[in-house]
Amino acid sequence: MSVLREKLENSNDAVFTAEFASITGGGMASVQKNSARLAPWFDAVNATDNPAAHAHTSNTATAIAMAMHGLEPIMQIVCRDKNRLAIQSDMLGAALHGITNISLLTGDDVTAGDEPEARRVFDIDSIQAINIARAMTNGKTLSGRTIRPAPDFYLGAVENAAAAPFDYRILRALKKYRAGAKFLQLQICFYPDRLEAFCKGVAKIAPDLKLLPTVVLVKSAKGLGFMNDKVAGIDVPATILTRVQSASDQSNEAYKVALELASHALTLPGVRGLHVTDFRHDESINDFMSDLGRTPKWQIT
Amino acid sequence: MTCPKTLRNGPCGGVREGGWCEVKPEMQCIWVKAYDRSVSLPLPKVWKAHFNELRPPVDMQLQGTSSWINLVTKRDQQVPAGWIVENRKH
């Protein structure tokens, strides 16, 4: 059983997940370097699938490489680049390599990336993909063919608590839960009030759904501005932008904002841990986890 | 269907502040519009509940055929053998 599943389903321990930096070049050395940074702190780490519509090393290859370097992968599959056959073969390929944590996402549109002229696929949507994955765990492909033994997936998804329509996001989380998702990694959210309303709502109607809100570590107001302008579904309120912009030490202020958002998120109902996205790429991830009261699995030298 | 991502089960996570479409920022998200109407219009409860139903993958074989005929013959209700919707209680 995956550590992620064991911890979320059979314990009350807080769970921390992170995002693996996408691999383009750098070979296994870059995988090793990234894994060494994250392994002491995180229970599982996302192997992304062409994030922000940019081509990178494939989700399956990344997940396998991560596992080789001691990380437990959560393999993401997005619906933008693959039709229903390719999505099922991603899942079967993951199962072949013993990767069982699968997270299914709609995915950013091709226009968010550097190849906007590409054909967008979206043959199925994330909720349909979750339902297909759940049926696979019962030993059936979408067409009804038998898979024996059935893959033992632990299924997750993503939801954006900060995007309209706010009330419906709770119902959409329920829809994902009913389709088969056991955990949700939430999109980065700079509105504590929206996150709180979402978590309270989900805890009420789907109390078994495990929520992992995302906090992002950036170094400056420019980093926040980039997310606000370029990343689909993320809005950074002017109060936060101004606060970081006007600080004498922007890096420190941005860090403090992330810590405040994280501390608040961890108090919310239904929340079982955090997902951390690190765009600082420095040692501050160690400080961040320590400041949240975590201890590393082993001493970092 | 005017969702540029052709989504069938609600809005994606890319909806912009104010409810605008991720792909076409000048357009209001069709799912935001649909949800608002499902709440505000005086529709029968059973219709409103349809909004939360899990819709199956689109059958691409039906592209270019008459949706009215497919409705009458129930061809549009056919789903793949492995499409199984569980009625999970919460």
Give me the domain span that covers residue B78. Answer: 58-85
* pLDDT value, residue B80: 97
Q: What share of chain B is helix, strand, coil (3-state, %, to 5)?
A: 30, 5, 65
Q: Does residue A73 have a cis bond before it (omega within 30 degrees)?
A: no
Q: CA-CA distance, A241 to A283, in Å (whole number)?
A: 23
Pair B45, B65 in one domain? no
Mutate to test the interface with B, among A76, A79, A122, A171 (most CBs of B within 10 A): A122
Decide if B63 is inside a domain: yes
For A286-299, the pLDDT digits (tens) are 999 999 999 998 77
Pull the structure tokens for residue A189.
């959210």
The nearest CA of chain A is from the CA of B69 a distance in Å of 23
What is the residue-averaged pLDDT of chain A? 96
* Domains contained in chain B, number: 2
For A258-269, the pLDDT digits (tens) are 999 999 999 999
Pair B1, B39 in one domain? yes
Pair B40, B64 in one domain? no
> Would you say residue B89 has pLDDT above 90?
no
Pair B40, B79 in one domain? no
Mutate to test the interface with B, among A79, A85, A109 (most CBs of B within 10 A): A109
Pair B47, B62 in one domain? no
Pair B69, B31 in one domain? no
Mutate to test the interface with A, among B3, B7, B9, B84 (most CBs of A within 10 A): B9
Pair B42, B64 in one domain? no
For A236-253, the pLDDT digits (tens) are 999 999 999 999 999 999
Q: Are B57 and A145 a contacting pair at CB < 8 A?
A: no
Q: Which residue of A has its CA nearest to B31?
A: A165
Decide if B3 is inside a domain: yes
Name the residue facing B4 among A109, A131, A180 (closest C-beta): A109
* pLDDT value, residue A190: 97
The nearest CA of chain B is from the CA of A135 a distance in Å of 7
Q: Which of A184, A165, A163, A164 is CA-nearest to residue A173? A: A184
Q: Are A164 and B7 a contacting pair at CB < 8 A?
A: no
Q: Which residue of A has its CA nearest to B34?
A: A165
HSE, side-chain direction, 13 A CA sphere, residue A225 = 9
Phi, psi of B28, deg, nearest 5: -70, 140
| Residue B66 parent element (H or E) | none
Decide if B90 is inside a domain: no
Pair B24, B66 in one domain? no
Q: What is the pLDDT along chain A (301 residues), one digit of tens a residue?
A: 899 999 999 999 999 999 999 999 999 999 999 999 999 999 999 999 999 999 999 999 999 999 999 999 999 999 999 999 999 999 999 999 999 999 999 999 999 999 999 999 999 999 999 999 999 999 999 999 999 999 999 999 999 999 999 999 999 999 999 999 999 999 999 999 999 999 999 999 999 999 999 999 999 999 999 999 989 899 999 999 999 999 999 999 999 999 999 999 999 999 999 999 999 888 899 999 999 999 998 776 5
Q: Kindly list the domain boundaries of chain A, sorted by start residue.
A: 3-291
Rounded to 10°, the helix A27-38/A59-68 angle is: 60
Does the model's ipTM exceed the 0.85 cut? Answer: yes
Pull the structure tokens for residue A209.
């759904």
Pair B8, B49 in one domain? yes
Pair B80, B48 in one domain? no
Q: Are B11 and A165 a contacting pair at CB < 8 A?
A: yes
Q: Does domain A3-291 have CATH number 3.30.390.50?
A: no
The nearest CA of chain A is from the CA of B20 a distance in Å of 9
The nearest CA of chain B is from the CA of A298 a distance in Å of 36
